[in-house]
Structure 1
Amino acid sequence: MSTRERILDYVTKNPGITFRKLAQELNIGIGNLQYHLRHLEKEGKIISKRLGGKKYFFPAGFEEEYRRLMIAISNESQRKILLLLAEGDKNQSEIAEKLNLAPSTIVYHTKRLERLGIITKIKDGKNTVYSLNCDVNVLVRIIREYKPKIWDKLADKLIDLTLAFRGEEE
């Protein structure tokens, strides 16, 4: 298998992978990887999207909505915010409190999610309320299908919570 075929195969199996992670996972030099990615894009075999200093790669034909969600869930804080908003609309302080994050961190991540078009915000005086702007079922399916390690972590946390409520925590 040629280097270019390896890259295409890996991007196809790992949509939304960042440039750095791709270089690390395939153990390919930066310049060499850039060269092949540029050719794969020109050939229409992959698509890239830049956001916040990172470049994400997807196989051609990967739906736009899925690309946006993959970028969003690649960050743990953003993923947590999305899963929290899946329960219902929340204001900034509720999100900060439930996720134990600083308000400035919430502002940073919600701005990124807004730019992706995944959440919307409504200002009501000093209060800002965020809501999910995507189908919850699609979000869950994306996490389950493309980020199974994340799904496993969520399942483990649910088990730990269940044990803690029963008083069986070790």
Structure 2
Amino acid sequence: MERRSEILHHIQSKPGITFRELARELGIGIGDLQYHLYRLEKEGKVFSRKVGKRRYIFPAGFEGECQRLLIAISTETRRRILLLLMDGPLTQSEIAKRLGLSQPTVSYHMGELVKLGIVDARKEGKSVTYTLSYDPAIIARVIKEYRPSLWEKLADNLIDLLTSVGDEE
């Protein structure tokens, strides 16, 4: 029971955590974690959402809009794409070039972001232009509120970028 309370507390402090992350961060075996999550879901204290190959776990009553955003920012590549799109619409090839990624990689992640409703896709001739379907301020609020360590990492990256620009002058 104490173990289950620890798991619940961790999910409440980090909503949208993946099953694997939860197991790793708490040092719990997969079978043990599956059992406790099953019990927590039966008790109505948590729920999970499977997207692609990952299972995301949320505390009961967690708002839907934030669920999608937390799933979207759960991977580094998607976070980088969303940050790029905060500046405005881009085509798939522009995103691939700016991030140094292959077209298929960008295509996969854009498909996931479109399915989640975070990004809109508009076909223009042979290319597809992507735009955020969320206000960038909402995305920033969700990151700051639910993933403060990620927020700090983004701030550190910005400081590094500004420092390097100053050095080049």
Q: Same fold by TM (over 0.5)?
A: yes
Q: Per-residue displacement from partner, 1:65-86 (whole Å, max 9, x unpaired)?
A: 1011101101011011111111
- State the SS of the aligned residue for 1:15: coil
Distance 1:110 1:87 in 2: 16
**Pair 1:142 & 2:142 matched:** yes
Q: Which residue of 1 aligns with 2:127?
A: 127
Distance 2:39 2:165 in 1: 54
Q: Which residue of 2 aligns with 1:80?
A: 80
Q: Which residue of 2 aligns with 1:35?
A: 35
Q: Which runs of 4+ in 1 moved over 6 A?
A: none
- State the SS of the aligned residue for 2:62: coil
**Pair 1:156 & 2:159 matched:** no
Distance 1:156 1:168 in 2: 19
Q: How does 1:15-30 map to 2 (within 5 A)?
A: 15-30=15-30
Deviation at 1:88, TM superposition (A): 0.9
Deviation at 1:23, TM superposition (A): 1.1
Distance 1:9 1:168 in 2: 46
Q: What is the TM-score normalised by the length of structure 1?
A: 0.94
Q: Which residue of 2 aligns with 1:111?
A: 111
Deviation at 1:168, TM superposition (A): 6.7
Q: Structure 1 residues 125 and 168 mapped into 2: Cα distance closer, same or farther (>3 Å)?
A: closer
**Pair 1:49 & 2:30 matched:** no
Gaps in structure 2 of 5+ consecutive residues: none
- State the SS of the aligned residue for 2:145: helix
Q: Which residue of 1 aligns with 2:66?
A: 66
Gaps in structure 1 of 5+ consecutive residues: none
Number of positions where the alignment pairs a residue of Structure 1 with one of Structure 2 = 169
Distance 2:50 2:95 in 1: 26
Q: Which residue of 2 aligns with 1:13?
A: 13
Deviation at 1:135, TM superposition (A): 2.3
- State the SS of the aligned residue for 1:167: helix
Q: What is the TM-score normalised by the length of structure 2?
A: 0.94
Q: How does 1:89-108 map to 2 (within 5 A)?
A: 89-108=89-108
- State the SS of the aligned residue for 1:128: strand
Percentage of identical aligned residues: 53
Distance 1:164 1:2 in 2: 48
Deviation at 1:10, TM superposition (A): 0.6
User: Mean alpha-carbon deviation: is it higher for 3-12 or for 160-169?
Assistant: 160-169
